[in-house]
Amino acid sequence: MARRKKKFPCGHQGYGQVCHKCQQKESDRVRRKRQRQAWEESFRYDPIDLKHLPKNVVIKTRRIISQLRQDSNYRRFKGKRLRHNRSIISIPINRDYRLICRDEGAQVLPETVISHQDYNVCKPGSAK
């Protein structure tokens, strides 16, 4: 005797008690929601605001900041001191973003991440 497919209320057809397509879709939605919440939660632990940045920039910035905490050698990341204020250090994140840090003697403290366009227009750290 051949089994007949039944039609679920969602419109899909199958043999089981529940629609497995809709069940998989719902579990994917819940998984993506948890990942998004975990990503948003991770911003609470950053020393500077990184919410407005793309994901790849956030990841690289976090890596650089954590390595700067261990060893304050900013030259390892191709960082340079600014000419107008030697206590301000600019570290390139990628072609479009720069991490601006302040040299506090024994340590380098991150202050902000700005776009390369903003970096070229103004003098970072001159207002402080």
Domain residues for 101?
47-121
Flag whether 7 is in a domain: no
Residue the block writes with tokens 């506090």: 104
Domain count, the chain: 1
The alpha carbon of residue 93 and the mean position of all alpha carbons in its chain are separated, in whole angstroms, by 12
Flag whether 36 is in a domain: no
Q: pTM for this structure?
A: 0.74
Which amino acid does the sequence have at 83? R
pLDDT at 128 over 50: no
Q: pLDDT for 62-115, tens place per residue?
A: 999 999 888 878 888 898 988 888 889 999 999 999 999 998 878 888 999 998
Quickly state the pLDDT bin for 12 (edges 50, 70, 90): confident
Flag whether 1 is in a domain: no
Dist. CA 118–CA 103, nearest whole Å: 21
Dist. CA 72–CA 57, nearest whole Å: 20
Flag whether 79 is in a domain: yes
Q: pLDDT for 32-61, tens place per residue?
A: 999 999 999 989 988 999 999 999 999 999
* More confident site: 127 or 45: 45
CATH number for the domain including 82?
A: 3.30.2310.20
* More confident site: 39 or 1: 39
98 within 8 A of 114, measured Cβ to Cβ: yes
Flag whether 51 is in a domain: yes
Flag whether 100 is in a domain: yes
